[in-house]
Amino acid sequence: MSEAFDFDAAIDRAWAKFRSALADRLLQIPRGESVPLGPWDDPAAEWEASNPPQLRVAKNGRLRCEVPWDFHFTVPERNQARREALHALGWRQRASGNLVLEVSRREPDKLAALVVRALREVWQVPHPSFLEPADSPIEPVTHLAIEPIDRAHLQSLVDAALGELVRAPLVKAECGCIHFELGGRDCWLKVLEHAPTVEFCTTLAEHIVDAARTAAIIAEDRPRSRDVTLVRFEDSVIASLRMEATAFAACNLAAAMTKWAQFMSEEADELVQRLGGETDSEELPTELTCLLQLQSSDCPLDPAQVAAICNDDRRAILRCLRICAQQEAAWQQLATEAFDRGDHEEASACEGEARVWAETTNQLKAALRLVVLGKRRSA
């Protein structure tokens, strides 16, 4: 399979091109006049377009970007936080309440770079195509929706829309999924087999040992992005975001991509650490970890070897036995839940995990018998 296209790199290239065009545009504005920063065509509806920020050349010739005091986001609780973020990036507040960023007439590139940083970090504009400069008054935009004929048709619509969004060649996996990188992590975009639905997904954790702990994290640490869900599949945890596409519109895909990119940048790393990182009381004992690593159906460990792994320590063996019992019960519960919802493949996989823990329990019991009774005989 070809390497995935780097979504971050494609976005960076688009912003670099926009920044250069913005610097050129600043030089074309007559002294004392202003123009809007661009049509606020944001599919995520993060802001109102009635009074957008202005690019201005002051009477003294200095270049300025000004955000009106009444420029409100459609999510009120974010207003103050984002105004504070602009202050942190060097914007200053005038007596009128407007926020202003100003540089010398000889520094259009500097102002363009600072404005782009604010657009990306504060307003979280996903791609510059949402605010390309317009030479005519902004008119309402009608987004056309297309009803896909079948899965192949929907896939072609997704391919075309995403290609236009990232403006880079798409990379397809053997299964037909679009493979891309976001935040240094592999992501996939696919059209589901039996429903007109588009899904973004990524693997957050693999080779999970502690099923009970993982289930608790999935239940308790739900993503702040309400459209993103966490599911356990075999020994992995998958994050996914689904977009219903009975009627497909490119702007909806762009909005979904924005939400997915926000989740990947703000929450994915934290969840990866929680799912795969070390914990305090919940971390598996070293003895049990070694035992699980050394187990083999071709060459099973005998009681003396298991006892040696546990340093002939009955307390260590008892601690491992308690954990094994908890794990076996947790996997059996997951198997029952999977069977109840009709997922027989998942139920079978969970039962297999439960058997592993049951076999480990039997090995530990034999080792405990050897340690306790062996010491008694030697005494």
Higher pLDDT, 344 or 228: 228
d(CA 107, CA 25): 12
Q: Is residue 213 part of a domain?
A: yes
Query: Cα–Cα distance between 36 and 250 in angstroms, integer?
Result: 25
* Domain limits for position 224: 145-275
Residues 290, 263 share a domain? no
Tally the C-alpha atoms within 13 A of residue 10's C-alpha that lie toward its C-beta: 20
Determine the Cα–Cα distance for residues 24 and 22; give it in Å rounded to an integer. 5
Domain total in the chain: 3
Structure tokens belonging to residue 299: 């060459």
CB atoms within 10 A of CB 304: 14
46-69 average pLDDT score: 72
172 located within any domain: yes
Q: 217 and 160 share a domain?
A: yes
* Burial call 97-133: b when 16+ CB within 10 Å, e when fewer: ebbbbbbeeebbeebbbbbbebbbebbbbbbbebbeb
| 136 inside domain | no
- Shared-domain flag, residues 184 and 203: yes
Q: Which amino acid is at 111?
A: L
Q: What are the C-alpha distances in Å from 294 to residues 207, 290, 297, 359?
A: 15, 6, 10, 13
Residues 267 and 292 in one domain: no
Cβ burial 161-188 (10 Å sphere, 16+ → b, else e): bbeebbebebbeeeeebbbbbbeeeebb
What gap in Å lies between CA 209 and CA 253, rounded to an integer?
Answer: 36
Domain boundary among 275, 309, 338: 275
Question: Is 350 among the domain residues?
Answer: yes
Q: CB–CB of 371/314 below 8 Å?
A: yes
Q: Is residue 85 exposed (0-12), middle (13-18) or buried (19+ Cβ within 10 Å)?
A: middle
Domain stop point among 254, 275, 296: 275
pLDDT value at residue 296: 62
Q: What is the CATH number of the domain that holds 265?
A: 3.30.1460.10
The whole-number pLDDT of residue 132 equals 55
In a domain, 137, yes or no: no
Question: Distance between CA 361 and CA 365 in Å, rounded?
Answer: 6
1 located within any domain: no
pLDDT digits (tens, 9 = 90+) for 67-83: 876 664 444 455 667 77
Task: Give the end of a domain, one of 256, 275, 294.
Answer: 275
6 pairs with which residues across the strands? 181
Mean pLDDT of 50-59: 74
CA distance 329 to 320: 14
Q: Give the confidence band of 364 by pLDDT, cuts at 50, 70, 90.
A: very high
Query: Which position has the higher pLDDT, 286 or 201?
Result: 201
- Asked if residue 13 belongs to a domain, the reply is yes
User: What whole-number distance in Å separates Cα of residue 225 and Cα of residue 222?
Assistant: 8
Same domain? For 263 and 319 the reply is: no
300, 359: one domain:
yes
Rounded to two decimals, the pTM is 0.47
Q: Does 202 lie in the same domain as 94? A: no
The answer to whether residues 67 and 176 belong to one domain is no
Tens-digit pLDDT profile for residues 254-293? 888 888 888 887 788 888 888 874 333 345 788 888 888 7
Domain identity same for 149 and 235? yes
From the CB of residue 194, how many other CB atoms can be counted at a distance below 10 Å?
Answer: 6
Does residue 379 lie in a domain region?
no
Calculate the alpha carbon distances from 332 to 235, 297, 364 in Å. Answer: 14, 21, 20
Tokens read off for 52: 């957008």
Judge if 77 and 152 occupy the same domain.
no
Residue 122 shares a structural domain with residue 152: no
Q: What is the pLDDT of residue 234?
A: 75
Please check the confidence at residue 21 and state whether its pLDDT lies above 90. no
Residues 266, 149, single domain; the answer is yes
